[in-house]
Structure 1
Amino acid sequence: MLLKKTTTPLALTLVLGLAFTCASAAAQQNEPQMNLPRTELHAGMYRISAQLASAPREREIGLMYRRQMPEHEGMLFAFEAPGVQCFWMKNTLLPLTAAFVADDGTIVNLADMQPQTEDSHCSAKPVRFVLEMNQGWFAKKGLKSGTRLTGAPFADKSH
């Protein structure tokens, strides 16, 4: 930003404040999303507290930059319409398993994903939902393709 020599102290203070705000926002771009809305899901007797990423930018950031995540927590990505959904792990520090989930909550397929890679992991058929959990969570619970998750996002909306 170019300042004229006649800039007043107040104007200079405002410019410096704006520059600091922009720098702070840039620094925060490498921080995890921790304040997304949550939804409770169930996989049989297991409860999942999932952050809900439904806006394009929320889905784009996902679980990037998270250094840890409690065992019963995850992130549910909700898309506007079913499609073949593909995920990668750029800037994601935790090993994760993605469950590609049909509208009725049935797990279509699972994919283990390694941190900080750009390998693409896709749904076996069009889905609207993807649930990411710590890698191994589904296997430890004996959950696999065909298992049905329950919760508000999967409720029958035809009534």
Structure 2
Amino acid sequence: MVLAGSLLLAGCQQEAQGSPPKPAPAAPVKPPVTDVNAEDYPMQPLPRGHVRLKDAYGGVHRVEVEIAATREARTRGLMWRKELADGKGMLFLFPHEEVQGFWMRNTLIPLDMLFISSDLRVVGIVSRAQPKSLESRSVGVPSQYVLEVPGGWTEKVGVRTGSTVQFEGVSGVDIAP
């Protein structure tokens, strides 16, 4: 009891003499993530629209898309997504028509890539692109747009090279270089 009282008295005397209490260590501040390829990069929501594709049998398939029209959005693409439902995809818009190449870095799911010309025709398809690959995928033909959908989707619905395409809700989106 005497010892406890002595310690309390000593602590009060230190405080009275102006010794400041020791501050608790501050939690480390995490710098913001600026690498668009990083899993925890805070990507802003993308504009949305629809792509209508005519299949080889005359049917039409409508895909709800996120629209990647900036360098940041095109670089990020579908990285780190664990699933992509049928009827969903991402439409990449480029400023002009040229031969496009895509890789699957940090992409966890297989994708079909439909390369679309400026006159809205499918000029080539890469089917079931392998996830997490750095191999460049291209069809070797100029395109201005690329639609990514779940792997195997184009075969399942009958969309082929030469299929026609229509965009809905895309015309108002500005394409950044």
Preserved CA contact (<8 Å) 1:67 1:94: yes
What does residue range 3-152 of structure 1 map to in structure 2 within 5 Å?
Answer: 19-20=29-30, 22=31, 25=33, 29-31=38-40, 35-44=45-54, 45-112=60-127, 113-152=129-168
Larger Rg: 2
Residues in 1 aligned to 2:139 and 2:44: alpha-carbon distance in whole angstroms: 26
Aligned CA RMSD, in angstroms, stands at: 2.5
Residues in 2 aligned to 1:118 and 1:27: alpha-carbon distance in whole angstroms: 17
Q: Structure 1 counterpart of 2:109, which letter?
A: L
Unaligned runs of 5+ in 2: 1-22, 55-59, 172-177
1:119 shift after superposition:
1.4
1:124 shift after superposition:
2.6
- The answer to which structure has the higher helix fraction is 1
Residues in 2 aligned to 1:49 and 1:108: alpha-carbon distance in whole angstroms: 21
TM-score normalized with structure 1 length? 0.78
TM-score normalized with structure 2 length? 0.70
Preserved CA contact (<8 Å) 1:108 1:124: no
Unaligned runs of 5+ in 1: 1-8, 155-159
